[in-house]
Amino acid sequence: MADIDDKQVLVTKEGLAKLKDELKNFEEVRRKEVADRLKEAISYGDLSENSEYEEAKNEQAFVEGRIIELQKMIENAQIITDSKAKADSIQIGTTVTVQNLTEHDDPETYTIVGSTEADPTEHKISNESPIGAALLGKHKGDTFKVKVPAGVFEYKVVKIK
């Protein structure tokens, strides 16, 4: 599997902006908050038995790790272009409506996004998820089966936009 140092990160323009905002927050706000907590904890004295100091050091490690991760993601970001999203087949960036033929549920609409932007609560599914991967390259009217943890489901592509 590719290391985060060289893994291409597929994002929309909005997704890249969110990553940049998160990075800015970590660099300008969270880093300072942790530094202040560390100073306060150090002022309590004996560091060997100072739980506030340990917690602040752990948080500092998390913040610095997340900053590095965000910097690499932004550095390796590839914006999903509208031309890809407007193809007649499903690509990353496409919004698609599918019908679960196995359970006869109401049709559901999803946008296929890169893994960094996936958010099921906003109906954004990763191109690396079982359903997202199965949808890639499909056309309106296609049916396909997907193996998910709950079993094998058959879906039909109802609409692509």
pLDDT digits (tens, 9 = 90+) for 75-128: 988 887 655 445 578 888 889 999 999 888 899 999 998 888 888 899 999 988
DSSP 106-160: PPEEEEEE-TTT-BGGGTEEETTSHHHHHHTT--TT-EEEEEETTEEEEEEEEEE
Q: Residue 148's closest CA among 131, 132, 136, 133?
A: 131
- What integer pLDDT is reported at residue 105 of this predicted model? 86
Task: Tell me the H-state helices in 45-129.
Answer: 51-75, 82-85
What distance, in Å, lies between the first and last C-alpha atoms of the chain? 32
112 residue type, one letter: I
Residue located via tokens 């506030």:
52
Digit-coded pLDDT (tens) for 38-81:
999 888 887 778 888 989 999 999 999 999 999 998 998 888 76
Does the structure show a pLDDT above 70 at 155?
yes
**Dist. CA 33–CA 143, nearest whole Å:** 52
Q: Domains plus CATH for the chain?
A: 9-79 (1.10.287.180), 82-160 (3.10.50.30)
Whose tokens are 């970590």? That residue is 26
Residue in 124, 122, 70 with CA at minimum distance from that of residue 95: 124
pLDDT digits (tens, 9 = 90+) for 2-27: 445 567 787 888 888 989 999 999 99
Provide the pairing of β-strand 108-113 with 95-100: antiparallel
Give the Å distances, CA to CA, from 2 to 6, 7, 8, 9, 101: 7, 6, 9, 11, 35
Residue type at 74?
I
